[in-house]
Homo-oligomer: A and B are copies of this chain.
Amino acid sequence: MAAIAFWVSLVSVSLNAGFVAIGAAVIARRGGWAYLRGRFGSREQAIYQSPYYNHRHSQFDRLPMSPSDIMFLGDSITDEGEWSDWFPAATIRNRGISGDTIGGVLRRLPNLLKGAPKAVFLMIGINDLINVRRSPEQVLACYEQILSLVKQQTPQTQVYVQSVLPIAAPFPSALNQTILQLNQGIAALATSFGYRYLDLHGAFVVNGQLDPACTTDGLHLNGEGYARWASHLRLLIDPTLSLAETFLAKTSGDD
């Protein structure tokens, strides 16, 4: 018996030493203490300190922005859109950063408003719910700060406050209730500041979830998703199209 217990101990302790060594190697490869701090420290700090966030931010600092420009501001869902291609007649500035939160947008907004853009299309908040675990009330408090900052710093800027989009599996479907609640608050806040609220949520929801035709991961958008989004903004953004449609409507009325 004693011999068996000895050998079991030996094998088992060796296995444990192996597991600890593998764990240490994985952590070391991912950046050691810095990785652990990011993983178990503040999620939001880890986002701001990522190379991607810093690179995007420093690129934006070098790029122009003028009072005739239209800024798209938000997280990955904004970042991944080729907005200049969708709206060729306008000058669009994509200022989305994948992973960003409403706290991040608030931090970088003063810098971004220096060029006093004509309009801002804002969509932000899903990472606050999923990653940072802010409550809708906490998100709305940041929205209020953002809208009053724009009103104060560049009162001539028109803000289009876009709803947060629904999500789908593998994200927890219960979150879709929270999104609805958040959007009600966003809509009320936008109106109270005299800005326009755009309900994109309604165009993307099927059975309470993000339309599977628009996504393969339940959160980000494919070509159909961006086409649908762009079609909802077209008349607000594309001046030539607005004119052409007005003209066509008038011509067909003359028949």
Contact = CB atoms under 8 A, between A and B. Distances in A.
Contacts of A56: 80
Interface stretch (A84-92, A100-108, A140-148): A84-92
B226 A59 contact: yes
Interface in A209-245: 215-217, 220-227
A59 B12 contact: no
A216 B59 CA distance: 13
Contacts of A8: 5, 9, 12-13
A1 B3 CA distance: 10
B82 A216 contact: no
A19 interface: yes
B63 A216 contact: no
Q: How would you classify the secondary structure of chain A's contact residues: helix, strand, loop or mixed?
A: helix
Given A2-B5, A12-B16, A80 B55 contact: yes
A6 B80 CA distance: 58
Contacts of A84: 84, 92
Bin chain A's interface residue count: 35 or more
Interface string A70-86: 00000000001110111
A84 to B, nearest CB: 4
A226 B81 contact: no
Contacts of A60: 82, 223
A54 B12 contact: no
Interface in A1-34: 1-2, 5-6, 8-9, 12-13, 15-16, 19, 23
Given A54-B216, A80-B55, A216-B55, A223 B62 contact: yes
A131 to B, nearest CB: 14
A52 interface: yes
21 contacts: A5-B9, A12-B12, A12-B15, A15-B16, A15-B19, A16-B19, A52-B220, A54-B222, A55-B216, A55-B217, A56-B80, A57-B223, A58-B223, A59-B81, A59-B82, A60-B223, A62-B223, A62-B227, A63-B82, A63-B85, A82-B94
